[in-house]
Structure 1
Amino acid sequence: MTIRYPSGQQPPNAGRAGQPIVAPHSSSFAKRGMSLEKEINDANRYYLATEQAVIYKKPTPIQLVKVDYPKRSAAVVKEAYFKRPSTTDYNGVYQGYYVDFDAKETRGKLSFPLKNFHQHQVDHFRRCLAQGGVCFAFIRFTTLDLTYLLPASDLIAFWDQQGRGGRKSVPLTTIKDRGFRVKAGLNPVLDYLPALDQLIAANQAKGADHE
């Protein structure tokens, strides 16, 4: 099966039997986020098995271009395109709250580059927050081995400031101040529910202040 990307290019190793499909980016960029993503996926499976939360990674949309039907009961996909995801990577339900987030990693030591996000993701956060969802950016500083949940409202604020000529990154000091630290655990290795509990409590406190 031929799978193409929106630019019309094929991945570097397309057509090799048994070889994984790799996006046409540099190897360092392509691998960014995979370690964090795996830890989140493992944590989500644990939370599901222990009935603590139901959170899933959204599948990457694929547009089918050419499909053969050698048999009436079977279809063979010959060509398809990866479509850009329209929203964030993860969503689900935790203690009655709709949860929505995206996971990013950076090798930077002083700040998180906003270029790691896209306008459609920020717009999605806005819509979810307007409906009372709990939204955040899962950010890891790989060199420092630090992981935080940054509320989507803070990410949006920096994004909007960027559009008005502000800085193009979120300082680590700000993430430490406004975010919630995710500490390493045993099972799961990345136990992020305690940090999520803190975020929910902070949101509730803000809501009480406005009543």
Structure 2
Amino acid sequence: MTIRYPNGKRYEQKPLQKKTATQRKLSFSNRGMSLEDDINETNEYYRISQIAVIHKKPTPVQIVQVDYPKRSAAVIKEAYFKQASTTDYNGVYKGRYIDFEAKETRNKTSFPLQNFHEHQIEHMKAILQQNGIAFILIRFALTDEVFYLDAHYLISCYEAQESGRKSIPKTEIEKYGHLIQLGYQPRIDYLKMVEHLYFSTPTETPN
């Protein structure tokens, strides 16, 4: 199947790599799940526990060519993304709109700003202007560390690219962001940080 972006460029999906025996024997602290899997699992826990309703945004696709090899089956041969995607997840928590992006890097010391697009930054700005809560979750894959970073700081870093900035050093993410302790249920409890930053009194700190 061929999928194309709104500008007509072909979407190339990276082939899945088989895990080695060593990778399959990962400890609990790094189970080999993708960041998306962990967040989806966390969001399901929030939903079932009636804590929040947050979902991954579907990507709108326009189908342009379909083959029907059988009456009971249809095969999509070509499709286009209808529009550029904004951020990965959105929903509601305690009456506040939540919107965030999740990114993963194998870089040890920094997070490249090229992983973000201008339309995503503009989208986050619009959320903040409407008193919504916007942030990003960044996973450093080699150390299995997940950080919560507020959209205000991301936006300031992104706009500094005009001055030659290319990335956010991990030391800055550690200083201005918040390390999320990985758990079991939920796996990545990012709402603990949202609660601390937006709903708690100034003297309260997350456990």
TM-score greater than 0.5 by the shorter chain: yes
**Contact conserved, 2:2 with 2:10, CA < 8 A, in 1?**
no
SS at match of 2:35: helix
Indicate the residue corresponding to 2:104 in structure 1.
105
Indicate the residue corresponding to 1:18 in structure 2.
none
**Which structure 1 residue ranges, 5 or more long, are not aligned?**
12-22, 29-33, 206-211
RMSD: 2.7
Indicate the residue corresponding to 1:142 in structure 2.
141
Question: 1:119, CA displacement in angstroms?
Answer: 0.6
SS at match of 1:198: helix
Q: Kindly tell me: are residues 151 and 80 of structure 1, through their superposed partners in 2, closer, same or farther at Cα, counting changes over 3 Å?
A: same
Q: Kindly tell me: are residues 8 and 171 of structure 1, through their superposed partners in 2, closer, same or farther at Cα, counting changes over 3 Å?
A: closer
Count of residue pairs brought into register by the alignment: 182
Residue 178 of structure 2 is aligned to residue 188 of structure 1: no
Identity %: 48
Distance across 2 between alignment mates of 1:111 and 1:10? 27
Cα deviation, 1:92-135, whole Å, max 9, x if unaligned, reads 00011100000001111211110111111001000000000100
**Contact conserved, 1:101 with 1:137, CA < 8 A, in 2?**
yes
* TM-score (ref. length: structure 2): 0.77
**Residue number among 160, 164, 167 corresponding to 2:165 in the alignment:** 167
Question: 1:191, CA displacement in angstroms?
Answer: 1.9
SS at match of 2:36: helix
SS at match of 1:55: strand
SS at match of 1:189: coil
Q: Kindly tell me: are residues 67 and 162 of structure 1, through their superposed partners in 2, closer, same or farther at Cα, counting changes over 3 Å?
A: same
Cα deviation, 1:67-105, whole Å, max 9, x if unaligned, reads 589xxxx98755322345431010000011100000001
Indicate the residue corresponding to 1:53 in structure 2.
52
Indicate the residue corresponding to 1:133 in structure 2.
132
Distance across 1 between alignment mates of 2:149 and 2:107? 16
SS at match of 2:46: helix
